[in-house]
Amino acid sequence: MQFLPMKLSFSDASIFLILFSVSVLDLFCRTEAVIKLPGNVTVSAVIVFGDSIVDTGNNNNLKTPAKCNFPPYGRDFEGGAATGRFSNGKVPSDILAEELGVKELSLAYLDPTLKPEDLLTGVNFASGGCGYDPLTTRLSAAALSLSDQLQLFKEYIDKLRAIVGEEGKNRIFERSFFLVVVGSNDINNNYFGSRIRRLQYDISTYTDLLVGHASTFLKVTRRVYLFEIIIK
């Protein structure tokens, strides 16, 4: 699959980018320009939902076998630390946050060392093993589902409001970048790794199912976000 550079503009005050691909790393490794923002636009926070491709350590604190907080993971990370990233170094969510000038690393929301000031620039809810299909998450044994991640997002909103107040929270959200990276586990681990969905769907109808789940998640997340910005 080939990705083309994308020129994005702020819509409803923020950017939502959904990446639905097994080859999502190509977007960060094989294109010259991933995101082009207008010169007068700055991003204040990066908020991430997804799976192991962008998980920066949330699974460290979950009862799940889907962990990587041990060597040789992290061998190229600063200090050679195995942080729970499913990588030898940074993951795409880190790279995106850095390239947008927000911060060097995308921090896991469940990291016990997370500081209140870290919330101001966005957090990461992604969990290795997650999928659009609820069955995918169940097969991965206690990873955070997208519904779980959305609940944590609502909790995050309350914490942010407590720190900077209603207007401060709105200012942050008005210049936030929302990244959703999910789908590889649905195809690899669920559809081809388990017979359950293959007995119910062919690959075409199963991907249609995933697109439906993706659309629903985006709509619900935007509804929560817009309620915070427009209604409150």
Exposed/middle/buried for 148, CB within 10 Å: 0-12, 13-18, 19+?
middle
Exposed/middle/buried for 195, CB within 10 Å: 0-12, 13-18, 19+?
exposed
Return the closest-CA partner of residue 121 out of 80, 176, 83: 176
The span from the CA of 214 to the CA of 211, in Å, is 5
> Could you say which of 52, 93, 106, 145 is catalytic?
52
- 44 is a catalytic site residue: no
Catalytic residues: 52
